[in-house]
């Protein structure tokens, strides 16, 4: 059972009464009282008709049968495909029509990823959207210290900020690369930081099969072996080497996690024009093939293992070859890929605070706004890079993290749609105020103003004069104040001492078993 | 016939052969070869169900019948209502259920606003969206000179920039207040600037009935008397004094324009929480009443006169009372009001580059992005304030005008949706490239790259190093360069000398007839 249930989860979690107390306290320690994920109550925005989807599927079927995909340097995977009935020729694998769709029938359309604090567990699929922070940048930037390589301190800071934000549901994975730690050892510190400084759900390492194994081992220490085997407690990003290739690293990680019943996000990583055709429709047919093939592979490895159909798709500048983000084509691609995932019956991952800007300026905000809105409207279930992205994903920004998170807060309001209760219709307010009156003092307003409108923590809505006397700060400068305040006020969630000790022992032992390496 | 037709329009335009040459040259003088308005081919985003709309309509009906609206200091309008069957009590007017909906049946659901250059005429209604620039700010701002009161030179500059932008379809109206000209005379200079420095459609003055008459007189000089009587060549903004009041100034302008068969945009101007209840549903029922009553009034004055159902609706900060923009509630209100307009069968006006920010920073971009996207997705037909807004509408920004216009360009691409032609599906590209290949050199890419992706004129997609060596400019600084370049390269459209002379004579004569006044 990939889905588990909250009661069972509680029962099997380590610590018994202590765990319960931890949970209770965990909730109060955090300053947030927020939903643990977004529930979309507004209609989906879909740009493809049924007929359009059929065309894309027909081309994908032809591509899978005639061109196929390559699975590189992984004889085991080739053997799995051969046994399953695919046509294997060298590393090229071709699929008879319908074979892959048949295979993914065992994958859950929706599943729970459990958090250490069960109140923060998230539901991935259906009408739900889970916001996770930026993933992968080697650089970090803030207004004080500028741009530099990320360190484990930065990593911990981003984990803390995501933990504190009421609008981020997930701790994410590589919130930045901690380049001050050897490549072959940093996964220990990353997974530990997610467990120590946050109690939200998180992601494991995928950069080598043994690092994936270490991540699973640490999850077992934190959640209990049996619980991990039966439930999803980690979700991982498995990128395609688009076009139409999966490499040994990603396949290795996919196998580890699928076998451990942990979730794989199988994601085409496409900059259209370079790694796919220069068209939306062509690119979508490629997304279909790459996502479906990898999703099917997870089910061959462990039927029922949770898998998310992903799409990281944008375009490039056809003048310079540089990646572009927040483009209209990007929104169409995102929405189209979501429709494909729904047709296949799989949860969908995409979206985020995408931008090519180097600083948290108007370009950054505009590009991110278009992608974030498309994320919610298209029904993305797991949104990686929801906050903190800059520079085409090369840089995690402290300021942008809190700016984006504020915008995610707005999305929670939008996603609720329009309340049509009698109280919302407010007849008594009209009756009280009448033509030419003022609603500020109305009884209805007094009853409702506390929860009436979303309160941005970044926007300055004051007069020019007030804003001037407040120091003429732009949004990024206000964000700079905000994240520093958040870090200054950070209170860690409780972590069971026995678990903490076990994790640290494991890390010390494992780190001593091999020398540092930067590969 | 409010709709006219392009051939008739050409025939009756002044100047004969000269006019034709002017048009031909006009098209080539401008650097743009762009659609004269946006045609939406993507589905509408609607947050209200039929049932929800029914609830709002039922409350509006009750409000119209029981509470009513006030029409202040205009006995003529009260008499018109009385004659039409409304219940008039002092300045309060109440409407029997269904009366107003019956009256608006004569209003066109779609009409053409003719431009001096007929190739730039716009279609208002249906699946079309017309983008007009910012309207009304007393201040202007740019990065070089900072914030100051607007002048006629600024006004002309904004007209020139809107003329040059391929993504703005309309010259707008009060692109900024030219405060260096007396209040009672500046309308001459404003209308003249729209006719002289642009050949896109424009808006007339509404600040007093005689200024409206002057605007119509100038339009008659430019378009011909008969043509103006039979066709829409000007569109005007008639705001309600929300809640539920129309004042004498606005009513006076409405009567002049409706009698002249020119279009009125009847717009509730609402900051929810102050001028309406603190809820979306309550506010929408008020929007329904205010828009419908004023639209019906135009039809009583001249059945068939073009009228647009408008909504300028946002919320306020319930802490400070300051207006807020780009909020999730704002998007829900905009979309809901559009649904009401469609139910009533009227074209809809809303939207724009709204923001409360004082500078073209991330806040400005994010707030504007949410409103602009909502504008296109909700099916707004006439979008005032599409570009250049800052500071809650108190300030027209040179930089933001070109930044927003760039974003409007993206909306043209989004609105086309996904091309599903064989060329777009790009089978031959996959066949040529295959797994692990690169699409940049593919024949399909070569055939399509010119038109493949929207090319932003503001975004910087280069590497950090390239961006650094280009001077580390943020988006606003790049926009600063762009508008200065545009103004330096500005070439005016041709204006028939006889028309120009007639306009100047009219202005000189009329200005000499009364002293300057600042009321």
Smallest CA–CA distance, residue B426 to chain A, in Å, is 5
Q: Which residues on chain A are in Cβ contact (under 8 Å) with B282?
A: 424-427, 429-430, 444
CB atoms closer than 10 angstroms to residue A497: 10
Pairing relationship of beta strands B139-142 and B235-239 according to DSSP bridges: unpaired
pLDDT of residue A451: 87
Smallest CA–CA distance, residue A502 to chain B, in Å, is 42
pLDDT of residue B351: 85
State the pLDDT confidence band at A33, using cuts at 50, 70 and 90.
low
**pLDDT tens digits, residue range A230-288?**
999 999 999 999 999 999 999 999 999 999 999 999 999 999 999 999 999 999 999 99
Q: Which helix (H) or strand (E) holds A408?
A: helix A398-414
Distance CA B48, CA B332 (A): 9
Q: Which helix (H) or strand (E) holds B291?
A: helix B280-301
Q: For residue A308, give the 3-state DSSP assignment.
A: strand
Interface probe for A, chosen from B286, B362, B426, B478 (most Cβ of A below 10 Å), is B362
Contact A243 B69 (CB under 8 A): no
CB atoms closer than 10 angstroms to residue A395: 24
Distance CA B366, CA B374 (A): 12
CA-based nearest residue in chain B for residue A282: B425
Contact B356 A459 (CB under 8 A): yes
CA-based nearest residue in chain B for residue A354: B461
Determine if the pTM surpasses 0.90: yes
pLDDT of residue B33: 55
Contact A435 B243 (CB under 8 A): yes
Q: Which of A445-459, B187-201, B359-373 has the lowest mean pLDDT?
A: A445-459
Is the predicted pLDDT of residue B416 greater than 90, yes or no? yes
Contact A460 B364 (CB under 8 A): no
Q: Which helix (H) or strand (E) holds B248?
A: helix B248-259
Distance CA B442, CA B429 (A): 6
Q: Which residues on chain B are in Cβ contact (under 8 Å) with A476?
A: 361-362
**pLDDT tens digits, residue range A280-311?**
999 999 999 999 999 999 999 999 999 999 99
Contact A81/A71 with Cβ under 8 angstroms? yes
Smallest CA–CA distance, residue B516 to chain A, in Å, is 30
pLDDT of residue B389: 97
Contact A141/A476 with Cβ under 8 angstroms? no
Mean pLDDT within B435-460: 95
Mean pLDDT within B194-223: 98
**pLDDT tens digits, residue range B322-365?**
999 999 999 999 999 999 999 999 999 998 999 999 999 999 99
Report all structural domains of chain A as residue ranges with CATH numbers, in order of start.
Answer: 102-416 (3.20.20.480)
Distance CA A107, CA A124 (A): 13
Distance CA A199, CA B274 (A): 41
Is the predicted pLDDT of residue A12 greater than 70, yes or no? no
CB atoms closer than 10 angstroms to residue A66: 11
Distance CA B120, CA B130 (A): 11
Averaged pLDDT of chain A: 93
Percent of chain A with pLDDT over 90: 91
| Measured torsion, CA atoms of residues B285, B290, B296, B298, in degrees rounded to the nearest 10 | -150
Q: Which residues on chain B are in Cβ contact (under 8 Å) with A360?
A: 362
CA-based nearest residue in chain A for residue B324: A461
**pLDDT tens digits, residue range B151-175?**
999 999 999 999 999 999 999 999 9
Cβ–Cβ pairs < 8 A, chains A and B = 388
Is the predicted pLDDT of residue A23 greater than 80, yes or no? no
Q: Which residues on chain A are in Cβ contact (under 8 Å) with B387?
A: none
The C-alpha angle with vertex A51 and arms to A48 and A53, in degrees rounded to 5, equals 50
Interface probe for A, chosen from B245, B377, B439 (most Cβ of A below 10 Å), is B439
pLDDT of residue A10: 32
Distance CA B271, CA A455 (A): 15
Q: Which of A164-168, A262-266, B24-28, B468-472 has the lowest mean pLDDT?
A: B24-28
**pLDDT tens digits, residue range B240-264?**
999 999 999 999 999 999 999 999 9
pLDDT of residue B319: 85
State the pLDDT confidence band at B417, using cuts at 50, 70 and 90.
very high
Which DSSP state fits B352?
-
Mean pLDDT within A198-205: 98
CA-based nearest residue in chain B for residue A276: B439
pLDDT of residue B277: 97
Contact B165/B402 with Cβ under 8 angstroms? yes
pLDDT of residue B31: 41
CB atoms closer than 10 angstroms to residue A505: 11
Is the predicted pLDDT of residue B222 greater than 80, yes or no? yes
Smallest CA–CA distance, residue B231 to chain A, in Å, is 35
Structure tokens at A310: 């992903």
Q: For residue B232, give the 3-state DSSP assignment.
A: strand
CA-based nearest residue in chain A for residue B433: A243
pLDDT of residue A351: 85
Contact B328 A427 (CB under 8 A): no
Q: For residue A371, give the 3-state DSSP assignment.
A: helix
Contact B279 A336 (CB under 8 A): no
Contact A321/B462 with Cβ under 8 angstroms? no
Smallest CA–CA distance, residue B341 to chain A, in Å, is 17
ipTM metric:
0.93
Is the predicted pLDDT of residue B24 greater than 80, yes or no? no
Per the listing, tokens 């007030």 go with A466
Strands, sheet with A269-272, edge to edge from the N-terminal-most edge strand:
A269-272, A312-316, A323-324
Contact B319 A455 (CB under 8 A): yes
Per the listing, tokens 């490239």 go with B433
Averaged pLDDT of chain B: 93
- Of the candidates A276, A436, A449, the beta carbon closest to that of B273 is on A449
Contact B377 A280 (CB under 8 A): no
Distance CA A361, CA A365 (A): 6
Mean pLDDT within B56-68: 98
pLDDT of residue A29: 33
Q: Which residues on chain B are in Cβ contact (under 8 Å) with A454?
A: 327-329
Structure tokens at A430: 């009209």
Distance CA A72, CA B468 (A): 38
pLDDT of residue B318: 87
Q: Which residues on chain A are in Cβ contact (under 8 Å) with B48?
A: 418, 420
Q: Which residues on chain A are in Cβ contact (under 8 Å) with B319?
A: 455
Is the predicted pLDDT of residue B86 greater than 60, yes or no? yes
Q: For residue A71, give the 3-state DSSP assignment.
A: strand
Is the predicted pLDDT of residue B513 greater than 80, yes or no? yes
pLDDT of residue A1: 31
Smallest CA–CA distance, residue B390 to chain A, in Å, is 10
């Amino acid at each position: 059972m990939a889905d588990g249930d909250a009661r069972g989860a509680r029962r099997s979690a380590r610590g018994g009464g202590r765990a319960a107390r931890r949970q209770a306290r965990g909730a109060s320690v955090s300053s947030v009282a927020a939903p643990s994920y977004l529930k979309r109550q507004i209609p989906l925005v879909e740009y493809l008709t049924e007929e359009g989807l059929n065309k894309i599927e027909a081309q994908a079927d032809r591509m899978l049968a005639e061109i196929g995909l390559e699975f590189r340097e992984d004889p085991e995977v080739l053997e799995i495909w051969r046994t399953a009935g695919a046509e294997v020729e060298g590393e090229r694998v071709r699929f008879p029509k319908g074979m892959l769709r048949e295979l993914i029938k065992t994958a859950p359309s929706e599943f729970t990823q459990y958090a250490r604090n069960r109140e923060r567990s998230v539901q991935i699929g259906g009408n739900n959207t889970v916001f996770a922070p930026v993933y992968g940048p080697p650089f970090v930037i803030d207004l004080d210290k500028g741009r530099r390589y990320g360190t484990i301190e930065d990593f911990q800071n981003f984990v803390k900020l995501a933990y504190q934000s009421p609008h981020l549901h997930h701790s994410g994975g590589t919130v930045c690369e901690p380049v001050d730690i050897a490549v072959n050892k940093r996964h220990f510190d990353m997974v530990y930081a997610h467990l120590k400084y946050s109690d939200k759900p998180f992601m494991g390492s995928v950069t080598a099969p043994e690092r994936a194994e270490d991540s699973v081992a640490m999850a077992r220490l934190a959640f209990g072996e049996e619980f991990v085997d039966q439930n999803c407690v980690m979700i991982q990003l498995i990128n395609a080497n688009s076009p139409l290739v999966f490499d040994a690293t990603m396949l290795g990680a996919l196998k580890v996690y699928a076998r451990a019943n942990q979730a794989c996000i199988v994601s085409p990583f496409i900059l259209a024009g370079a790694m796919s055709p220069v068209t939306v429709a062509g690119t979508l047919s490629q997304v279909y093939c790459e996502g479906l093939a990898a999703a099917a592979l997870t089910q061959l490895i462990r039927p029922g293992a949770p898998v998310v159909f992903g799409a990281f798709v944008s375009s490039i500048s056809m003048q310079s070859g540089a990646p572009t983000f927040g483009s209209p084509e990007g929104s169409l691609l995102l929405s189209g890929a979501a429709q494909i995932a729904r047709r296949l019956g799989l949860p969908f991952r995409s979206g985020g605070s995408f931008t090519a800007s180097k600083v948290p300026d108007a370009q950054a905000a505009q590009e991110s706004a278009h992608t974030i809105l498309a994320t919610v409207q298209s029904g993305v279930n797991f949104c990686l890079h929801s906050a903190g992205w800059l520079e085409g994903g090369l840089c995690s920004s402290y300021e942008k993290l809190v700016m984006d998170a504020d915008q995610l807060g707005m999305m929670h309001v939008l996603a609720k749609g329009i309340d049509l209760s009698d109280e919302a219709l407010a007849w008594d307010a009209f009756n009280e105020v009448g033509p030419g009156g003022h609603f500020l003092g109305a009884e209805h307003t007094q009853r409702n103003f506390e929860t009436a409108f979303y309160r941005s923590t970044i926007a300055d809505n004051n007069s020019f004069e007030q804003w001037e006397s407040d120091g003429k700060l732009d949004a990024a400068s206000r964000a700079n104040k905000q994240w520093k305040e958040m870090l200054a006020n950070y209170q860690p969630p409780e972590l069971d001492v026995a678990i903490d000790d076990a994790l640290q022992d494991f890390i010390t032992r494992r780190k001593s078993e091999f020398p540092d390496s930067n590969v």
